[in-house]
Amino acid sequence: MGSQATQALLWGRSPQEWSYIQEPTGQAGYDYALKELKLTTKDKLLDVGCGSGLFASQALKTGAQITGLDATEVLIAEAKKRASAATFLSGEMEELPFTDASFDVVTGFNSFQYAASVNNAFIEALRVLKPGGRLVVMIWGNKEDCEAATYLKAVGSMLPPPPPGAPGPFALTENHLLETTLQSIGFKIISNNDIPTVWDFPDTTTALQGLLSAGPAVRAIDHSGREKVQEAITNAMQPYVQSNGHVVYHNKFRVVLASK
């Protein structure tokens, strides 16, 4: 069993808020990936954990053939509306429903870390890539470079106690575990860069809607109740409220490019 059953219940509660407030916070990573990949009409790209299809919609503009896979049906429905020329389906990232060597590029933006088995998810990505195909993985940068770590800490305080050894949101970042894992599976690292990104919400209400739409926050709500989670996040965001009312977090995303 993979991650789909669990993750589908968490990421589909507030699809509009996720699609139009929170998913765009990854834009700096999308821009960087597209710049590095230089996609052409000959490329077939699979976006794993495609969410509501924001990256897919931008990748389509290159003329590449785009397929998106996500655990959550309601986000797939949003993706189909956003990028109708792409192919979208729901499924397990640990059991990709594609034949070997189907794609030139596989991408995953803040998605692979939610796999029930990260290793299995990367093994599947390797399997569906053509020889010489490329993989792009975006995760959090170093904790000290991410002001949103305070939001993640607030959410974490509302979650049930994790089992011993359970990975946290920065697990793949620490000691460059992502790169080590990819190499152990058979990928060759091409580059790894930390990309600065600014989350700029127009007001605290919008910030709260976006931050509450993420899967970990939804899980925290299920455990501790919406009121307590909302209060914890609201308190945590106060240092980032600007004089104009905007809520601004400065973060970094680590984007690793590898090849088969």
Average pLDDT for 74-80: 96
- The mean pLDDT of the chain is 95
Average pLDDT for 56-84: 97
Does residue 9 contact residue 219 with C-beta atoms inside 8 Å?
Answer: no
Burial class, 194, CB count within 10 angstroms (exposed 0-12 / middle 13-18 / buried 19+): middle
Average pLDDT for 207-215: 97
- Beta carbons within 8 Å of 155's beta carbon, 6+ residues apart: 214, 216, 217, 220, 229, 232, 233
Residues of the chain above pLDDT 70, percent: 97
The answer to which of 29-38, 164-173, 234-243 has the lowest mean pLDDT is 164-173
pTM over 0.85: yes
Alpha helices in the chain (DSSP H): 4-11, 15-17, 27-37, 54-59, 73-82, 118-128, 149-157, 177-185, 204-212, 215-224, 226-237
Q: Is the pLDDT at 188 greater than 60, yes or no?
A: yes
Question: For residue 12, what pLDDT is reported?
Answer: 86
Q: Is the pLDDT at 144 greater than 80, yes or no?
A: yes
Name all domains of the chain by residue range, CATH numbers in brackets. 4-259 (3.40.50.150)
Question: For residue 168, what pLDDT is reported?
Answer: 78
Question: For residue 166, what pLDDT is reported?
Answer: 63
Structure-block tokens of residue 256: 């690793």
pLDDT digits (tens, 9 = 90+) for 35-51: 999 999 999 999 999 99
Question: For residue 164, what pLDDT is reported?
Answer: 62
Structure-block tokens of residue 207: 């910030």
Q: Is the pLDDT at 2 greater than 80, yes or no?
A: no
Residues of the chain above pLDDT 90, percent: 90
Question: For residue 140, what pLDDT is reported?
Answer: 97
pLDDT digits (tens, 9 = 90+) for 117-129: 999 999 999 999 9
